[in-house]
């Protein structure tokens, strides 16, 4: 990790995100999604629902990147070592958001009893890193992934958690179309959206999977020069701890873009935190978006964002 003062200076210099044609497409799609639905439009949307739900935001090329290294999911020094590193801070954030949404306070907040029986879907669960951690909190977890290889790895890793934790090979769009499990108490998708072909369609499915008032939690990477350095160049080309080509910087999404997408789809923003990942020491720290007088300095690379579906 860069020394604090140096990091703040660098972050201020690198704070302006790259503007790409994809940025404009995301803004256009989000604006379109925000249009108010009239009764006539609702009827038309219902008639077209089957066709829309048949679409998928899954990229076969991106999927194959993870299939090739699927045997390494539970190797803390393998291709997914930084997901292992980020797992504990992400789970802590998810638990805190759930406590806030359900207004859990005091000593009860420190226990896990209040989490028992609440349902969560982990979209793009991979080998089950986050799914297992969520299930150990007492949550009823369904982990879904488009890759059969990932689901196979997840199922055999800790079968003792069944039926608290179940897995299914499917996509968010398919789960919505099949009307299976619709209405989860929380929807989670970690380091997935930067690999999909259509971020708006993907987020729409996440919102549709949530119960009214339920939280949605998404972690991803900001599209800045700093993220290019710490999430692509350093791990993939210098340290070679992540396979080359794993990430496409042009597909990273800024916090502003992600917030606009979810708000246009009927969700309100709750909180955003930075995940400061140091590839050299293999440590991760959950930090506020703003550090002192420096706005958004904590979310210049990896970040996690929480929303709540409107009632």
* Within a domain: 153: yes
Strand 267-278 to 302-309 pairing: antiparallel
DSSP state of 295: T
Specify the higher pLDDT residue, 57 or 29: 57
178 confidence band (pLDDT: 50, 70, 90): confident
Q: How far apart are CA 66 and CA 70, in angstroms?
A: 6
Domain containing residue 126: CATH number: 3.40.50.150
Q: Show the CA angle centred on residue 208, arms to residues 204 and 211, nearest 5°.
A: 140
32 occurs within a structural domain: no
Mean local confidence (pLDDT), 268-272: 98
Query: Can you give the pLDDT at residue 35?
Result: 53
Say whether 194 counts as a known binding-site residue: yes
Reported as a single tens digit per residue, the pLDDT across 60-75 is 999 999 999 999 999 9
Query: What percent of the chain shows pLDDT beyond 70?
Result: 82
Is 154 domain-assigned? Answer: yes
Q: Does 90 belong to an annotated binding site?
A: yes
How many domains does one find in the chain?
A: 1
Q: How many CB atoms lie within 10 A of CB 63?
A: 17
Domain that holds residue 73: 58-221+250-273+301-309
Confirm whether residue 124 is marked as ligand binding.
yes
Query: Is residue 178 one of the residues assigned to a domain?
Result: yes
pLDDT at residue 11, as a whole number: 43
Residue 35 maps to a domain: no
Whether 10 shows a pLDDT value over 60: the answer reads no
Q: For 191-243, how does the pLDDT look when each residue is reduced to its tens digit (9 = 90+)?
A: 999 999 999 999 999 999 999 999 999 999 999 999 999 999 999 999 898 99
| b/e code 267-283 from CB counts within 10 Å (16+ = b) | beeebbbbbbbebeeee
- Evaluate whether residue 169 is within a structural domain: yes
pLDDT band at 20 (very low <50, low <70, confident <90, very high): low
Q: Are 254 and 17 in contact (CB under 8 A)?
A: yes
Q: Looking at the domain assignment, is residue 174 inside a domain?
A: yes
Domain membership of residue 24 (yes or no) is no
Q: Identify the band that residue 38 occupies on the pLDDT scale cut at 50, 70 and 90.
A: very low
Residue 9 has pLDDT above 50, yes or no: no
Mean pLDDT check: name the lowest of 41-50, 134-143, 174-183, 273-282: 41-50
Question: Is residue 191 annotated as involved in ligand binding?
Answer: yes
Asked if 126 contacts 73 with a C-beta cutoff of 8 angstroms, the reply is yes
Contact 227, 202 (CB under 8 A): no
Four-residue CA torsion sign, 161, 98, 180, 34: negative
Confidence bin at 257 (pLDDT 50/70/90)? very high
Predicted pLDDT at 293: 84
Q: Give me 17's structure tokens.
A: 């995100």
Give residue 16's pLDDT.
Answer: 46
Between these two residues, 182 and 149, which has the higher pLDDT value?
A: 149
Across residues 157-178, what is the average pLDDT? 94
CB pairs under 8 A, 24+ apart, for 116-121? Answer: 118/185, 118/186, 119/181, 119/184, 119/185, 119/186, 120/184, 120/185, 120/186, 120/187, 120/188, 121/175, 121/181, 121/184, 121/186, 121/187, 121/188, 121/209
Mean pLDDT, rounded, for 47-53: 38
């Amino acid at each position: 990790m860069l020394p604090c003062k140096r990091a703040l200076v660098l972050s201020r210099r690198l704070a302006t995100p790259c503007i790409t044609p994809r940025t404009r497409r995301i803004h256009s799609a989000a604006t379109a999604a925000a249009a108010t639905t009239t009764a006539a439009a609702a009827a038309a949307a219902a008639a077209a629902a089957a066709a829309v739900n048949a679409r998928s935001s899954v990229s076969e090329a991106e999927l194959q990147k993870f299939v090739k290294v699927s045997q390494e999911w539970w190797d803390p020094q393998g291709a997914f070592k930084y997901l292992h590193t980020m797992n504990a801070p992400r789970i802590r954030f998810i638990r805190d958001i759930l406590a806030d949404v359900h207004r859990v306070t005091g000593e009860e907040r420190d226990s896990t009893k209040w989490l028992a029986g609440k349902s969560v879907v982990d979209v793009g669960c991979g080998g089950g890193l986050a799914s297992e951690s969520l299930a150990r909190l007492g949550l009823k977890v369904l982990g879904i992934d488009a890759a059969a290889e990932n689901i196979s790895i997840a199922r055999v890793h800790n079968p003792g958690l069944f039926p608290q934790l179940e897995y299914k090979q499917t996509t968010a769009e398919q789960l919505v179309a099949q009307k299976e499990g619709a209405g989860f108490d929380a929807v989670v998708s970690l380091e997935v959206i930067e690999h999909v072909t259509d971020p708006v369609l993907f987020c729409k499915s996440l919102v549709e999977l949530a119960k009214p008032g339920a939280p949605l939690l998404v972690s991803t990477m900001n599209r800045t020069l700093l993220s290019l350095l710490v999430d692509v160049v350093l791990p993939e080309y210098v340290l070679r701890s992540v396979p080359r080509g794993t990430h496409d910087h042009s597909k990273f999404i800024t916090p502003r873009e992600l917030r606009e997408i979810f708000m246009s789809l009927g969700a309100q923003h709750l909180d955003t935190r930075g995940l400061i990942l140091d590839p050299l020491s293999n440590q991760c720290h959950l930090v506020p978006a703003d550090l002192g007088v420096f706005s958004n300095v904590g979310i210049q690379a990896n970040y996690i964002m929480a929303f709540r579906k409107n009632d």
